[in-house]
Structure 1
């Protein structure tokens, strides 16, 4: 396979061969698609899948996958931060293999028998598990201590961190396995934000709190004490945790045969907040809630700033008006059931906060959305987490908030303060945890140039899209396409420190203050909208073709976080174009609504020696029911079509000969009822059934017919006709039924309703329409809803187009006599 990852399969056809551009391997997907890091994965067979987020993970085992900045070392990956003795064997304590171990060198002094683990990011840990070997020359350490740090610097220029003890032996340890949890701090709180359904989350976990005594920890040898107590509720089971990035293990006794096999840091789960920008996410924030991206980076050395000092600032009104808000698009939709917010406390990191002078704000609300839009096109947010303003002295010092809730879909988050005064807060982390696969991931292909990829430079017509996927119950994929010829570039300017600035400001700045300029390729104005979803593999291509570029969009989704779809392959089936290019126009460009008008569609093809030409035309006219007086001209000569038909808004014409470079005109008479009606044309060849090549507009909007009278009117009903105003349902064959017909303007997708009422306003009958293009026909035979003939008298026909706006209701009178 070439580095462009093309698989071209030759299939014999009537007039030419078909080729396939296939994506069915990791190489092909990575070369031609913008995949989502940390979301898209590949099976051993090269099939495209989704990453499953985990609960109760060993955060030490995958520490090497996370990179973070430091003061002295630059950007470093997690792993062994330092080992003052025997550093070569230190990685074996986080390799997942209890049979390998680290032993300090016996010749080193005891104060060097220290090893430190860097988890690569701050994690919400709930248990630490320590494994020791038990073999000749390698025994469990009898005396040791464990310290932990959040990873927040306490020095401006050095990698100095504040560590606190989380475990130490108080008598010699003889066990090969020791585990311990954490005692809640005064700053910690865990609560459910709604009535929880089912078990949810990790309900079976309860860690013992650390008391400083090895006998009160869960061990794997003698003196084993099983954790007891609060496993009867999800909140109680998830109330013991601590934010950790560094673990330091110190040996407290010079023991020559002492060894350490493994340290596991059991964390709540994979933090889905990480890598938002890499996944295509975006941020926007108010003027007083800066840097929301620092909430989502797993680094306690960065933080947002929300500071509005009440004694120095006047209220601007609401918190929204005061700029105390931010919004983030996570770049994908996740199933989420657990969230954690960490606010900086007094003395943490380089803070000069004194006790009580900083806070976690004066209350706030998190809103979430799965991406659903309102009728106005805005994101539809629901209230998610409400944190009221503290009212007690104890609540005043809370800084670490863990929220439990029922599993929900989250794509967008909107954070809003309750008040715009009283804030002096540094939010350091927002972590979120998922019970499984993401709910929805959307990826797009690169802009694919089929003629360049095929290597012959010839335009290609895409016939169909094929795909193969494994879809467990409650999962699906959606595939769409779009195409176009023009591409453009958008430039983003930055200053020296990386902030986005205007082009004018960038150009006016001294060169030493200018930063990078990013260039993005965007689609031009001639591109089609995204097509409807391809519901079946092998469906005909739904976008314009040929075009220079085509792009695909793939949506992978699940309604059950326990399962996800897997895509084995996606492929484009294409053939050489019938003609090199084809352009067309419609005249006249304006018409009166629902009035018979003579139109002429003009077509100008261009060919090369390899083109086969065409002998079929398809004119697509909105709401086409009939076309009268059709006349076809080829190279200025009138020709008689061999066949002509109308089907699904299309006028199909078979020509008597194959046309290559000659111009073609089709004159016809019809009525239009849609403003800005687009008249499209396609070329076909009788020797290639099912192949249609799109005709491009000769100039912008040259295939559009305007109906100015409709644009300036609220009229939705036209050509309203009653077959008779008198109904005589006596079976004599004269006026036994009355037919009502009308044309619907503008609201073509509306479903009109016609109801027959008596003079008192009571409903007598609901009529069912028959549609003929834009015309709706209703027939009443004088019977009520129960099938009985109504009494003689005057009856009203109430006509309702059922549209949101415009003049949608008309009334007509019918007399029943017999």
Structure 2
């Protein structure tokens, strides 16, 4: 199915297609022979039409106003509509916050109609600025604005000649979290700031670059002097206007060439009918390049697809609240929140900033995430065929980002699908505790960092249907190899049927199947080292006899003996641990003679306290500090790790005999840690 220009991906989406080779495992698919269009709740710069059955970013053609390609604009800096997420909707707002008045909020400046415009008003220049958010960074090289095609000012001046005397245009690629700062400050890069302009139709050219934000700011000019009458009081040092400012704008325009830096697609929340377990995510994506007016398959194109998935047990991942008489919050339905309650924000005038009203009944309170019934978005994946590690659910949603790092490159996403299978049990609960402290005072297991500790892992299952087949295998992920000690089924200690080798935890095949008719609680006792400051011993159950999908173990009250109700394990340390510890060599002297005896150096070490993967490199130095080789080890995470070196330099030549310094270097946000050890090399 996959070839050189194709990348595989995996997700499962609302439409099911059975896989005849695996009776219990089916695929939930989107794309291919299933439509993309209409299955989305949000799409920004996504092209549904060019490639049949696939999606790709919209290509920006020279001469096309980019603003006209975007839909669902809002005229507020911070929209109050339910579900608004930064970067999923284009915005244009006037002054600090924007407003809903179509006579001045800018909506007619993006409607591609040169006959519509906002009439100039007699108000301070300090309020005359617009910010345009295209939602995603787009390759742009021109910003323009022009006067209306018809109409007259009150003094008879044709609007088509009503030029803006002075202005500033600035641009910015990403949201840097600075828009809460009020005022007409410039964005990251100023591309134009003329002080005397007589052209009613303005085009500002600049080097093509990815741009998401544009800011147009009206500036004071000597040309304005003839149109202003100073009266008592000042406004930004320039006086109040006795009549409307010069300059009338009909349209803003943005032009460029190529593909956006990213295009986004968020699917509808899809009801699967019954609760399912989820397996791997697959997708088929084709990297492309636009060359001489043609789209060409290009395996090394600088573009890729990134996918996130979440699952739930009801139709809405949010919880909605209303204020009570005492100012506290109570849970209400979305329907009441959306239709009956008033917003908690208000303003005293159209151009005033929003302020929070005092809480009272009938007013909207917070919207929070329903983490009891919905998973958070999965870790973004760019590789097909990887497990999603999602909790089971009867609802699913997908978020797709199509990335481009070059104006001419893009990725076409042909299809995606997710493995799904029926539940093995209605719910499988688990909790973990230190064996010598089953009911810790703080309610969570705490252990010394890097010490081997005995744990008790209790599991209980519940069944709601005879169709739920049960399980006979348990896998626990600890982040490093664990050592099995005991298995209890009910109160009896029983030997496992098998303990397959596992690098990052423990896998146990039970001697009997846990089913609705044979549903004894389990306890697994094992020892493990913890190398992270906070870890979760994720677990899953599955069937060793049937081809189905594993079901996650959910933390909860699995037994009365344990009081943690959690799979979390915290590590304790009196001081911040060194990131790299316990470095050891397989031999003190490397002898690369080709006789397979000490021909290669094995370096073992342990990484501690890392919340995420970090880059690790093996550097080789002479005694005078000259680096003769650097061997990248890729991204590594907390726990035991291994590196290898064959005694060669960066050119592949065997180094001369002598003493060398071997450095294992890690680069993290916290610091850069390097550990050096000497090594002899001889023949």
Which category of TM-score, normalised to the shorter sequence, fits these structures?
0.5 to 0.7
**Aligned pair in 2 of structure 1 residues 749, 688: CA closer, same or farther (>3 Å)?**
farther
**Aligned pair in 2 of structure 1 residues 703, 427: CA closer, same or farther (>3 Å)?**
farther
1: CA distance between counterparts of 2:420 and 2:567?
26
Residue 489 of structure 2 corresponds to residue 634 of structure 1: yes
Report the Cα offset of residue 775 of structure 1.
Answer: 3.4
Report the Cα offset of residue 347 of structure 1.
Answer: 8.9
Secondary structure, counterpart of 1:459 in structure 2 = strand
Question: Which residue number in structure 2 is paired with residue 33 of structure 1?
Answer: 40
**Aligned pair in 2 of structure 1 residues 756, 439: CA closer, same or farther (>3 Å)?**
closer
CA contact (8 A) 1:305 1:426 kept: no
CA contact (8 A) 2:432 2:565 kept: no
Report the Cα offset of residue 615 of structure 1.
Answer: 1.0
1: CA distance between counterparts of 2:413 and 2:603?
52
C-alpha RMSD of the superposition = 5.3
2: CA distance between counterparts of 1:676 and 1:815?
39
**Aligned pair in 2 of structure 1 residues 738, 388: CA closer, same or farther (>3 Å)?**
closer
Pick the aligned partner of 1:388 from 169, 189, 193.
193
Pick the aligned partner of 2:472 from 603, 608, 615.
615
Report the Cα offset of residue 333 of structure 1.
Answer: 4.5
Q: Deviations over 1:485-517 (max 9, x none)?
A: 553237644659999956635859xx9xx9xx7
Residue 567 of structure 2 corresponds to residue 709 of structure 1: no
TM-score (norm: length of structure 1): 0.55
**Aligned pair in 2 of structure 1 residues 763, 49: CA closer, same or farther (>3 Å)?**
closer
CA contact (8 A) 2:286 2:411 kept: yes
Report the Cα offset of residue 36 of structure 1.
Answer: 3.6
Question: Which residue number in structure 2 is paired with residue 231 of structure 1?
Answer: none
Report the Cα offset of residue 579 of structure 1.
Answer: 0.6
Question: Which residue number in structure 2 is paired with residue 504 of structure 1?
Answer: 357
Q: Deviations over 1:654-690 (max 9, x none)?
A: 2122112332222111111111112101111123336
Secondary structure, counterpart of 1:529 in structure 2 = coil
Residue 239 of structure 2 corresponds to residue 430 of structure 1: no
2: CA distance between counterparts of 1:777 and 1:466?
30
Pick the aligned partner of 1:695 from 553, 559, 562.
553
Question: Which residue number in structure 1 is paired with residue 606 of structure 2?
Answer: 743
Report the Cα offset of residue 736 of structure 1.
Answer: 11
Question: Which residue number in structure 2 is paired with residue 718 of structure 1?
Answer: 581
Q: Deviations over 1:236-288 (max 9, x none)?
A: xxxxxxxxxxxxxxxxxxxxxxxxxxxxxxx9798346643497224567549
Question: Which residue number in structure 1 is paired with residue 507 of structure 2?
Answer: 652
2: CA distance between counterparts of 1:740 and 1:644?
28
Residue 275 of structure 2 corresponds to residue 459 of structure 1: yes
CA contact (8 A) 2:421 2:548 kept: no
Pick the aligned partner of 1:488 from 281, 306, 319.
319
TM-score (norm: length of structure 2): 0.65
1: CA distance between counterparts of 2:682 and 2:474?
53
Question: Which residue number in structure 2 is paired with residue 446 of structure 1?
Answer: 268
Q: Deviations over 1:150-206 (max 9, x none)?
A: xxxxxxxxxxxxxxxxxxxxxxxxxxxxxxxxxxxxxxxxxxxxxxxxxxx46xxxx
CA contact (8 A) 2:345 2:357 kept: no
Pick the aligned partner of 1:586 from 419, 432, 435.
432
Secondary structure, counterpart of 1:271 in structure 2 = helix
Report the Cα offset of residue 540 of structure 1.
Answer: 5.2
CA contact (8 A) 1:276 1:331 kept: no
Report the Cα offset of residue 44 of structure 1.
Answer: 11
Q: Which has the higher contact order (CA 8 A, sep 6+)?
A: 2
Report the Cα offset of residue 713 of structure 1.
Answer: 0.9
- After TM superposition, the structure 1 = structure 2 runs for residues 292-311 of structure 1, keeping only pairs within 5 Å, are 295-298=109-112, 300-302=116-118, 308=124
CA contact (8 A) 1:578 1:693 kept: yes
Question: Which residue number in structure 2 is paired with residue 198 of structure 1?
Answer: none
1: CA distance between counterparts of 2:306 and 2:106?
32
**Aligned pair in 2 of structure 1 residues 756, 690: CA closer, same or farther (>3 Å)?**
farther
2: CA distance between counterparts of 1:655 and 1:631?
12
Question: Which residue number in structure 1 is paired with residue 291 of structure 2?
Answer: none
CA contact (8 A) 1:368 1:412 kept: yes
Pick the aligned partner of 1:549 from 373, 392, 395.
395
Q: Which runs of 5 or more residues in structure 1 are unaligned?
A: 55-200, 203-266, 310-321, 375-380
Pick the aligned partner of 2:376 from 520, 528, 544.
528
**Aligned pair in 2 of structure 1 residues 719, 653: CA closer, same or farther (>3 Å)?**
same
CA contact (8 A) 1:483 1:543 kept: no
Residue 461 of structure 2 corresponds to residue 605 of structure 1: yes
Report the Cα offset of residue 634 of structure 1.
Answer: 1.9
Question: Which residue number in structure 2 is paired with residue 276 of structure 1?
Answer: 73
Pick the aligned partner of 1:330 from 117, 123, 134.
134
Report the Cα offset of residue 816 of structure 1.
Answer: 9.2
Whichever of the two has the greater Rg, that structure is 1
Report the Cα offset of residue 41 of structure 1.
Answer: 4.3
CA contact (8 A) 1:289 1:325 kept: no
Q: Which runs of 5 or more residues in structure 2 are unaligned?
A: 1-12, 76-87, 100-104, 178-185, 221-235, 240-244, 289-296, 322-336, 338-342, 435-444, 558-563
Secondary structure, counterpart of 1:578 in structure 2 = coil
**Residue range with higher mean Cα deviation, 344-353 or 748-757:** 344-353
- After TM superposition, the structure 1 = structure 2 runs for residues 346-365 of structure 1, keeping only pairs within 5 Å, are 360=164, 362-365=166-169
**Aligned pair in 2 of structure 1 residues 789, 39: CA closer, same or farther (>3 Å)?**
closer
1: CA distance between counterparts of 2:597 and 2:256?
71
Q: Deviations over 1:82-104 (max 9, x none)?
A: xxxxxxxxxxxxxxxxxxxxxxx
Report the Cα offset of residue 805 of structure 1.
Answer: 3.2
**Aligned pair in 2 of structure 1 residues 276, 398: CA closer, same or farther (>3 Å)?**
same
Pick the aligned partner of 1:674 from 532, 550, 557.
532
Secondary structure, counterpart of 2:199 in structure 1 = coil
Question: Which residue number in structure 2 is paired with residue 413 of structure 1?
Answer: 214
